[in-house]
Structure 1
Amino acid sequence: EELRAAGSWDERFAVAADLLRRRTADRSPVDPEVAHTWRTTLVSRGRVRVEDLADEVGWSRKRLSARFHAQLGITPKRAGRLVRFDHAAHLLAAGLAPATVAFECGYADQSHLHREVGAFTGLTPTAVAGAPWLAIDDVAWPGQSPGA
């Protein structure tokens, strides 16, 4: 809710940093199943089904979603969408065509990519590709930097 209320990207990052500081100070343990789900979501770049993750950790989809949300603040499905969007945004910034990005990131088609980009940013894929706030993170997505 705080992120949604933030009026700018700087405010959103400040809210996220504050949440992480509070979480660290509380030393709230994360269930190993939740940590596994997060790691798998990152490694798959958001292209893993929540049902499959629940099967992997031996929990129901409902329990996994509830524990993940309680500990990380978003559902595993939303986390997957965010990770996939992040990867797509970096590919767009690296100069790949939207149709290619849609395919590489597992979107059903270019229109699906367009809707997701719009949902997260309010921008078109072309606008996101040229957005100054998008820094290519070569650690997160090796080989995706311009010129790589």
Structure 2
Amino acid sequence: MAANLGWSRRRLWARFRSEVGMTPKGATKLVRFDHAVHRLAVGQLPASVAAEVGFSDQSHLHRDVAAFTGLTPSTVGDEPFLAVDGLAWGWPDRTPGGSR
């Protein structure tokens, strides 16, 4: 991406951070976590979620879920914070993993 813009990697990261509020790596981790937690909420097994979403293994998923929420992958799906996605984005089906 930096090469396509004609920028150095350092400049891209600095501009990204100033505009978004986090580094590209942090944003990538947050998006991957979001995808994973919604799959966990609808009952998918942590091992399959880890493989499908791009974690290196189930332990990697566990570490990121714990870092973001303080919970385990098996308990994070029961948390009410998942319900705000539908409200925030105006999805017709407001259940985790529902149509978007």
1:68 equivalent in structure 2:
16
CA distance in 1, matches of 2:51, 2:4: 26
**Equivalents in 2 of 1:60, 1:123: separation in Å?**
38
1:89 and 2:42 correspond: no
1:115 aligns with 2:63: yes
Aligned to 1:101: 49
Deviations 1:79-105 (A, max 9, x none): 110011011111111111000110011
Name the residue aligned to 1:4.
none
The answer (yes or no) to whether the contact 1:94–1:145 under 8 Å persists in 2 is no
**In 2, are the aligned partners of 1:90 and 1:134 still within 8 Å (CA)?**
yes
SS of the equivalent of 2:81 reads: coil
1:80 corresponds to which residue?
A: 28
| Mapped contact 1:92–1:98 kept (Cα < 8 A) | yes
Contact 1:117 1:125 in 2 (8 A): yes
Contact map agreement 1:88 1:102 (CA 8 A) in 2:
yes
Q: How many residues align?
A: 91
Q: TM-score, normalised by structure 1?
A: 0.55
Q: TM-score scaled by structure 2?
A: 0.79
Which structure 1 residue ranges, 4+ long, deviate > 3 Å from structure 2?
A: 55-58, 136-139
The gaps in structure 2 that reach 5 residues or longer are 92-96
* Aligned CA distance change for structure 1 residues 65 and 75 (closer, same or farther; 3 Å): same
Aligned mates of 1:113, 1:119 — CA distance in 2: 10
Q: Hey, what's the Cα distance between the residues in 2 that align with 1:56 and 1:83?
A: 23
Q: Does the alignment pair 1:145 with 2:93?
A: no
Please list every run of 5 or more consecutive structure 1 residues that lacks an aligned counterpart in the other structure. 1-52
How far 1:55 sits from its partner (Å)? 3.4
